[in-house]
Amino acid sequence: MAKPRKPRTSAPDPPVSAARLPWHPPAPPVPTAVLISLAALLVRVLVSVGPYSGQGAAPKFGDYEAQRHWMELTLHLTPSDWYRNTSDNDLAYWGLDYPPLSAYQSLLHGRIINASLPEAVALRSSRGYESVESKLLMRWTVLSSDLLVFFPAALWFVWAYMKLGIGGEERREGWMWLLSMVLMSPCLVLIDHGHFQYNCISLGLTLGATAGVLSRNELVAAALFTLAINHKQMSLYFAPAFFSHLLGKCLKRKYPIVEVTKLAFVVLGTFALVWWPFLHSHEAALQVISRLAPFERGIYEDYVANFWCSTSVIIKWKKLFTIKPLKLMSLSATILAFLPSFIQQVKSPSNLGFLYSLMNSSFSFYLFSYQVHEKSILLPLLPASLLALEEPRMYGWFVYFALFSMYPLICRDQLLLQYVAVLGLFFLIYYSPGGSYGKRSNISCRAKLVLSLPFLCSLLLHITYLQIDPPKRYPFLFDALIMFVCFSQFVILALYTNYKQWMLDTHSRSIGVKKDL
């Protein structure tokens, strides 16, 4: 009798984890972090090959020329003349309008470039200087700044975030995806390495300060955040979050006055060190301060997607009000906007609440403060990236519309190819197998339909902006439409993150909000 044949069995399917990219264990952490960092660096290098702000656009050029000019000024003039109008320093031509630490950074970079290409930073004769060699050197200064400040801060933050188990123990495996989200932020890459700025320094210092808070190094955090403010005054967007969180923690300790005093000494000491060359006279200090608050420029610039610019279509703020009442209205609206987040952190400081507070505070300044420009969206984007594991859908949505809000600027800089490539790469990683997108997303079909409307409008405006000329009577019609779409999304996101921060107090969550007292 023949033996019965055994039924053939097909080879077992590979485990799901085999299809994943390295956003999960057992990938070795250090080599993987290095590879992610190198990939992020490569993206920056490729973007930097393209054009920059104001390239060949005489007589004032753009932000590239501004940064080069500041290197020229700080290299050849004494600190007392950096912020004063003199025969060698025409403040009308890209006068220095950032705090002293930014000036010291320009001096350092100016010395490096002067050693290799002195004609690029020669006093007066170098205005509008452009060459292949100078572009390479200038791009290198941004890349090195990113590597020395932002990259280490990102690694420190991810380490502190995962060590404390913020957002729940089950999220620990997503640290590599989180690191990729922080380092691959398309807006920061395009503005710093395409348009040309040094936001990576101030944002890197702020990110380091955030990591310091999470790892319970409050004094280090206070020093780093003070340095961030002294590099770019827009870092004050985060000040209410840092102040309220640290104050709330101090008030819950045994000796609150001693804790507050220690932080105050660190802040004041750091300010004194940075401002030392300008403290010799009252006039010198006031001269610097006057350059940091350019109220004469108006309450907003270009078509920025904030409250004042978006509503100016109906209410002509600049025509109806002088600078003084506009400053008062702007200050009042900004305080009212960040006050709920501020109160929540003083009342119940927590690590997760602090990250939400950073976003809510910076969003309040972006939407309502005085003299906001489109690149200021980088500030609320930073804490949004830190919340990527907690709020993956919110972060992806925010990144898309934040980048879209700068679309007219990108087109003016002729960076459309880089725009498409970086955005595509970001979402390729964002939706990658093993990433955190969609793990907790349960959105109804009706909600998806509503969300699709602004997205479809943005796609239509992308094409319309390039292919169709606006009416001669309304030359900035498409810029305004882009502003309206993005403003509507920013308002919704700000309301959502404020709600989520307050719900940390009222709901017991399975992810566990870890108190850090």
Backbone phi, then psi, for 84, in 5-degree steps?
-105, 150
What's the one-letter identity of residue 190?
L
- Concatenated DSSP letters for 70-127? HHHHHHHS-GGGSSS--SS--TTTT---S-HHHHHHHHHHHHHHHHH-GGGG-TTTTT
Contact in structure between 360 and 338 (CB atoms under 8 Å): yes
Backbone phi, then psi, for 279, in 5-degree steps?
-95, 5
Residue recorded with tokens 């009000």: 321
Instruction: For residues 414 and 429, give the distance between their C-alpha atoms in angstroms, rounded to a whole number.
Output: 25
User: Cα-Cα-Cα-Cα dihedral of 185, 24, 46, 195, to 10°?
Assistant: 10
Residue recorded with tokens 């999220």: 171
Written as tens digits, the pLDDT of the chain (517 aa) is 444 554 544 444 444 444 455 555 566 788 999 999 999 999 999 999 999 999 999 888 999 999 999 999 999 999 999 999 999 999 999 999 999 999 999 999 999 999 999 999 999 999 999 999 999 999 999 999 999 999 999 999 999 999 887 756 556 668 899 999 999 999 999 999 999 999 999 999 999 999 999 999 999 999 999 999 999 999 999 999 999 999 999 999 999 999 999 999 999 999 999 999 999 888 899 999 999 988 888 888 788 999 999 999 899 998 999 999 999 999 999 999 999 999 999 999 999 999 999 999 999 999 999 988 889 999 999 999 999 999 999 999 999 999 999 999 999 999 999 999 999 999 999 998 766 655 555 667 777 777 889 999 999 999 999 999 999 999 999 999 999 999 999 999 999 999 999 998 775 444 444 444 5
